[in-house]
Amino acid sequence: MSGNDPRTMRFEGKVCLVTGAGSGIGRACARRFAAECGSVVVVDWNEQGGNQTVQEIAKSGGQAIFAKANVADSREVRAAIDAGVKKWGGLDVVVNDAATMTFQPVVDLPEEEWDKVLDVNLKSVFLFSKYATPHMRPGGAFVNISSVHAHETTPNVAPYASSKGGMEAFTRGFSEEIASRKLRVNCVAPGAVDTPMLRNNPNIKSGAEKIQGAVGQPEDIAAAVCFLASSEARFITGATLVVDGGRLDIL
């Protein structure tokens, strides 16, 4: 992408923070923001993955910094936000992408595992929303990465499905609170996307969860995320955009 087409420079002068940007969908979002002239804060607890994303962006002439953080840890979340604000003076886009899964029936699931999934997948969204909002400039947007599991699901992933359903409800409520600040928040709910999370999913390996229809690429999700984060989506807030190649429609 290049040239004078304004659609390829939607994030010029904008600061875009992406969690889980050390792999998969988060990395594709970070790369797309940078390709469209945004300055990117790459947040992940995986140092190697995060640094690789920063290097890939730098190689293509973009701007990015790495902020190592566990997104479930309030202190580390605030430090990651501060790193972006200190470097570039504020924030315009926050993508809550980092997530984890467990694969156990509810009756066997240790309470600590429930807490872990909800903390990483949902409390993190609360933390970034709470602490980033005061630094967000008018016109800014949050995009939260949900899942088709918020809508239809399979056995053994109840905490994950709950976290994504909670995220979509949170997004609706939060959208009403930040409208007066001229900020928006939406969700993207991906279907099956070719990333380590999909490839390592034991339910998919065993055939307990069937992938009917197409498997998307991380860039397919990044395209939707960047649309919702851009001013082209200025009339969209509190919404969830399902990006699943039609998977939820297949009987």
Ligand X SMILES: NC(=O)c1ccc[n+]([C@@H]2O[C@H](COP(=O)([O-])OP(=O)(O)OC[C@H]3O[C@@H](n4cnc5c(N)ncnc54)[C@H](O)[C@@H]3O)[C@@H](O)[C@H]2O)c1
Specify whether 131 is catalytic: no
Q: What does the DSSP assignment read for 28-75?
A: HHHHHHHHTT-EEEEEES-HHHHHHHHHHHHHTT-EEEEEE--TT-HH
244 φ/ψ angles, rounded to the nearest 5 degrees:
-135, 15
Task: Give the Cα separation of 219 and 111 in Å (integer).
Answer: 35
50 φ/ψ angles, rounded to the nearest 5 degrees:
-65, -45
Q: Is 24 in the site for ligand X (CB under 6 A)?
A: yes
Q: Per the structure block, which two tokens stand in for 8?
A: 């390829």
Q: Which residue has the tokens 């889980």?
A: 20
With contacts defined by CB under 6 A, name the span among 20-28, 81-89, 105-113, 125-133 that binds ligand X. 20-28
Q: Quick one: 26 or 140, whose CB is closer to ligand X?
A: 26
Burial of 79 (0-12, 13-18, 19+ CB in 10 A): middle
Q: Is 147 in the site for ligand X (CB under 6 A)?
A: yes
With contacts defined by CB under 6 A, name the span among 21-29, 58-66, 83-91, 132-140 that binds ligand X. 21-29
Binding pattern for the stretch 54-93 against ligand X, x by CB under 6 A and - elsewhere: ----------------xxx---------------------
Site for ligand X in 173-202 (CB under 6 A): 190, 192-193, 195-198
What residues are annotated to the active site?
Answer: 160
Catalog residues that contact ligand X under the rule CB under 6 A.
Answer: 20, 22-26, 44-46, 49, 70-72, 97-100, 120, 145, 147, 190, 192-193, 195-198
